[in-house]
A and B are shown apart, each in its own frame.
Chain A
Amino acid sequence: MNEGTTEHPENAAAFVANDARLKWHDQSLWFVREKRDRASSVIPEWESLRALGADIKAHTLSRLADYLEEFEKKATALGAHVHFARDAEEHNRIVHGLLRERNVTRVVKSKSMLTEQCGLNHHLEAHGIEVIDTDLGERIVQLRHEPPSHIVMPAIHLKKEEIGDLFHDTMGSASGISDPKVLTEVARGQLRGNLLAAQAGITGVNFAIAETGGFVVCTNEGNADLGTAIPPLHIASMGIEKVIPRAKDLGVFLRLLARSATGQPVTAYSSHFHGPRPGGELHIVIVDHGRSEILGREHYRRTLQCIRCGACMNTCPVYRRSGGHSYGVTVPGPLGAVLAPHIDPKKHRSLPFASTLCGSCSDVCPVQIDLHQQLLLWRGDLGRAELIPLRKRAASQLAGWVLARTWAYEFLGRIARWILPKLPKALLRANDWGRQRELPPAPKESFREMYRRRRGQ
């Protein structure tokens, strides 16, 4: 492994090595993909809904500063406090500051990939504040001291037996439990205590409405409601791209989101927050963390349309067979592979290559992000920045030189076809193609030679 770079091929190979897990992981996610297919097929206007969602987002991005300002104004008028954070550190500092000023030591958090991306848990824990993730999947990976492996189903890489063992070790439940119902009850029992004792609740934001200054958090476990109902302080963290113009745009996205994410017609809880609840405090932290830079890059701007449904991961044949952790970033899959290089192209240079460019992600995306085209463009940008391994670049140079010259191409083709059948089997099987696959046949004549013969040239 190279110092400081994510090597997707190696991580993926380790995942593939466990055949049973590989098949089961692939099947579980494909199951969700098929559910999404069924859920989207009952909406006759699905494709135009996607186009509409994409258009609304594209429009919003074209005037993002205006809409953010409007949101800030309206939210403030509702009694919320709005903070802007340039990056992860500033976000964490703001959140910690709010907690410290109020002597908060116990926080419940409902799923937020942004806080995950910012490393908020670590930051707060380092300052002696206990953070409990309330989303079951999130809690499971938190207890395992692991990052989530999926943005919607954070613990999808784990089998129920493993979760049973984990709960036995960490919560003292009986050993050998693998019934999801029972396990959920165990976690719920624990969670109840945590919710009652919490002094602050942190949530993410799915959609922030410029027109009203309110925002919506979508969960299936109701934990955004629970986590903010008891404690006096609610902190909501959102990326700058979460804003939408009008309340009536919300319907478009709620219809797209649930169906794309899990194949449900609607998310179980869409919690609306318009200002603090009576007697409570609401702080909204709006985070940039590299997003405005993406906004400035014309080719890549569309990735900011993302509503974080995870459909591109579920459909991605590479994600399904390499697991979320193989990407080494908070957001894995095709989306993660186009987002991560913006933060650190050198470190994440293998990610745009972790794809066959099959295009399924682009077609499944509810807001029509051309993900596979972005993966391809990243390859070009990495090439230009000379961030592609030297061996690979040299091979391209050589191939390019040959392919631009007919005589060289013909000559080398003839040599290859002549020499391949003569090479020892062991040699043919010692490379990345030949280890598990036979080489193509080596015919005597190429097509052009046949053609010439037939045309008597």
Chain B
Amino acid sequence: MINAALFIPCYVDQFYPHVGLATLELLERYGVRVEYPQAQTCCGQPVFNSGSFDVAKPIADKFLEVFSSYQYIVCPSGSCTSMVRNHYAELVPDRIAELRSKTFELCEFLHDVLGVKPEGRFPHRVGLHASCHGLRELRLGSGSERRVQPFDKVRSLLSGLEGIQFADLSRKDECCGFGGTFAVGEEAVSVAMGNGRIADHERGGAEIITGGDMSCLMHLDGLLRRQKKPIRVMHVAEILAEATANE
């Protein structure tokens, strides 16, 4: 049996607990023994990306203390996963090999480690938001800049669902403009980028915007709700958990 520690990013823990729950249920449904180590807080990305590497260091130490005894660490966020897997090299260089081999983003874990093909029904038109860190730092998809054989792990997990349709996007993997503290530090550009993404999803006829990073979705949702637009956001874990619940 596979053992996995659930790493739930701080803002998901506090503001989107149902995304954590969907992740937990989904993993359990596929036979993973999941544990949520309760001493965890955050990967330190917000302070790290703000330039305070020294402040992020104790947070990385804490992360290791909490998680290092587990076989796998699974996280429903591409950005936080990448922080641990790639950027901890700046903070805890001697432990980075270990972290790289066992830390996974949720979709990547389902796709690569468990090799599951989710079945179920989700009769909606969804717009897939490829979050940047998942795409370009974890390589969950091929990315429009690179000339490689196209692939998309998130989409391939979702595409097995009956009735699901995907919105056609004219810029399929452009950044939504969240960018952590960028969203407040560069409010004007951030909002312009978010609105650009939303317009693209609207043109594609999306009912729901989904993706593997709740942070991007939080930014888009904040704009959608303020502008009273009918599109909803759902984390990909929620869609998969909901669709596979009755199978």
Of the candidates A379, A382, A405, A432, the one whose C-beta lies within 8 Å of that of B49 is A379
Q: Which chain B residues border A8 with CB–CB below 8 Å?
A: 186
- Contact across chains for B59 and A400 when beta carbons are under 8 A apart: yes
- Contact across chains for B12 and A400 when beta carbons are under 8 A apart: no
Beyond the given pairs A17-B188, A354-B186, A379-B49, 8 more chain A to chain B contacts, judged by CB atoms under 8 angstroms and listed by A's residue number, are: A360-B145, A362-B136, A400-B44, A400-B59, A403-B41, A403-B42, A409-B41, A440-B221
Check B32 for interface membership: any CB of A closer than 8 A.
no
Q: Give the complex CA separation of A274 and B175 in angstroms.
A: 45
Residue of B nearest to A362 (CB): B136
- Contact across chains for A440 and B15 when beta carbons are under 8 A apart: yes
Chain B CB count within 10 A is highest, among A388, A396, A445, for A396
Contact with B along A13-26 (1 / 0, CB 8 A): 10011000010001
Contact with A along B191-221 (1 / 0, CB 8 A): 1111010000000000000000000001101
Within 8 A of B (CB), among A341-370: 352-360, 362-364
Q: Which chain B residues border A441 with CB–CB below 8 Å?
A: 15-16
Check B223 for interface membership: any CB of A closer than 8 A.
yes
Q: Give the complex CA separation of A383 and B187 in angstroms.
A: 21
Of the candidates A37, A388, A404, A437, the one whose C-beta lies within 8 Å of that of B144 is A37
Q: Which chain A residues border B2 with CB–CB below 8 Å?
A: none
Contact with B along A80-113 (1 / 0, CB 8 A): 0000000000000000000000000000000000
Check A209 for interface membership: any CB of B closer than 8 A.
no
Check B62 for interface membership: any CB of A closer than 8 A.
yes
Given contacts A46-B147, A47-B148, A413-B13, contact A357 B222 (CB under 8 A): no
Contact with A along B169-190 (1 / 0, CB 8 A): 0010011011111111111111
- Contact across chains for A443 and B17 when beta carbons are under 8 A apart: yes
- Contact across chains for A438 and B20 when beta carbons are under 8 A apart: no
Q: Give the complex CA separation of A358 and B137 in angstroms.
A: 9
Given contacts A396-B52, A406-B41, contact A13 B187 (CB under 8 A): yes
Q: Which chain B residues border A40 with CB–CB below 8 Å?
A: 147
- Contact across chains for B185 and A447 when beta carbons are under 8 A apart: no
Given contacts A356-B179, A443-B17, contact A363 B47 (CB under 8 A): no
Check B123 for interface membership: any CB of A closer than 8 A.
no
- Contact across chains for A12 and B189 when beta carbons are under 8 A apart: yes
Residue of A nearest to B39 (CB): A406
Closest Cβ of chain A to B14, distance in Å, is 5
Q: Which chain B residues border A431 with CB–CB below 8 Å?
A: 184
Residue of B nearest to A439 (CB): B222
- Contact across chains for B226 and A400 when beta carbons are under 8 A apart: no
- Contact across chains for B192 and A321 when beta carbons are under 8 A apart: yes
Contact with B along A431-457 (1 / 0, CB 8 A): 111011111111101111111100000
Of the candidates A44, A318, A393, the one whose C-beta lies within 8 Å of that of B52 is A393
- Contact across chains for A383 and B192 when beta carbons are under 8 A apart: no
Q: Give the complex CA separation of A13 and B189 in angstroms.
A: 7
Check A399 for interface membership: any CB of B closer than 8 A.
yes
Check B21 for interface membership: any CB of A closer than 8 A.
yes
Q: Which chain A residues border B179 with CB–CB below 8 Å?
A: 355-358
Q: Give the complex CA separation of A22 and B193 in angstroms.
A: 11
Of the candidates A12, A404, A451, the one whose C-beta lies within 8 Å of that of B186 is A12
Show 5 A/B contacts (Cβ-Cβ < 8 Å), sorted by A.
Answer: A322-B189, A356-B177, A356-B178, A358-B136, A450-B21
Within 8 A of B (CB), among A282-317: 315, 317
Q: Give the complex CA separation of A42 and B182 in angstroms.
A: 36
- Contact across chains for A9 and B218 when beta carbons are under 8 A apart: no
Of the candidates B18, B20, B53, B171, the one whose C-beta lies within 8 Å of that of A383 is B53
Q: Give the complex CA separation of A357 and B12 in angstroms.
A: 21
- Contact across chains for A409 and B42 when beta carbons are under 8 A apart: yes
Q: Give the complex CA separation of A384 and B194 in angstroms.
A: 32
Q: Give the complex CA separation of A441 and B185 in angstroms.
A: 22
Q: Give the complex CA separation of A400 and B58 in angstroms.
A: 8
- Contact across chains for A360 and B192 when beta carbons are under 8 A apart: no
Check B10 for interface membership: any CB of A closer than 8 A.
yes
Check B40 for interface membership: any CB of A closer than 8 A.
yes
Q: Give the complex CA separation of A449 and B8 in angstroms.
A: 13
- Contact across chains for A30 and B171 when beta carbons are under 8 A apart: yes
Interface size bracket, A side = 35 or more
Of the candidates A358, A383, A437, the one whose C-beta lies within 8 Å of that of B226 is A437
- Contact across chains for B184 and A12 when beta carbons are under 8 A apart: no
Of the candidates B59, B87, B178, the one whose C-beta lies within 8 Å of that of A376 is B87
Given contacts A359-B137, A436-B226, A438-B222, contact A403 B186 (CB under 8 A): no
- Contact across chains for A406 and B59 when beta carbons are under 8 A apart: no
Q: Give the complex CA separation of A372 and B136 in angstroms.
A: 10
Check B70 for interface membership: any CB of A closer than 8 A.
no
- Contact across chains for A437 and B219 when beta carbons are under 8 A apart: yes
- Contact across chains for B41 and A404 when beta carbons are under 8 A apart: yes
Q: Which chain B residues border A384 with CB–CB below 8 Å?
A: 53-54
Check B36 for interface membership: any CB of A closer than 8 A.
yes
Check B241 for interface membership: any CB of A closer than 8 A.
no
Closest Cβ of chain B to A74, distance in Å, is 35
Q: Give the complex CA separation of A352 and B55 in angstroms.
A: 19
Check A178 for interface membership: any CB of B closer than 8 A.
no
- Contact across chains for B47 and A396 when beta carbons are under 8 A apart: yes
- Contact across chains for B145 and A382 when beta carbons are under 8 A apart: no
Closest Cβ of chain B to A408, distance in Å, is 9
- Contact across chains for A437 and B41 when beta carbons are under 8 A apart: no
Within 8 A of A (CB), among B67-91: 87, 90
Within 8 A of A (CB), among B17-55: 17-21, 24, 36, 38-42, 44, 46-55
- Contact across chains for B175 and A358 when beta carbons are under 8 A apart: yes
Closest Cβ of chain A to B159, distance in Å, is 24
Closest Cβ of chain B to A378, distance in Å, is 8
- Contact across chains for A16 and B189 when beta carbons are under 8 A apart: yes
Check B151 for interface membership: any CB of A closer than 8 A.
no
Given contacts A404-B62, A409-B10, A448-B13, contact A16 B222 (CB under 8 A): no
Of the candidates A393, A439, A451, the one whose C-beta lies within 8 Å of that of B36 is A451
Check A196 for interface membership: any CB of B closer than 8 A.
no
Q: Which chain B residues border A382 with CB–CB below 8 Å?
A: 51
Q: Give the complex CA separation of A43 and B136 in angstroms.
A: 22
Given contacts A9-B185, A403-B59, contact A359 B17 (CB under 8 A): no
Residue of B nearest to A353 (CB): B185
Q: Give the complex CA separation of A7 and B41 in angstroms.
A: 33
Closest Cβ of chain B to A382, distance in Å, is 5
- Contact across chains for B226 and A380 when beta carbons are under 8 A apart: no
- Contact across chains for B193 and A397 when beta carbons are under 8 A apart: no
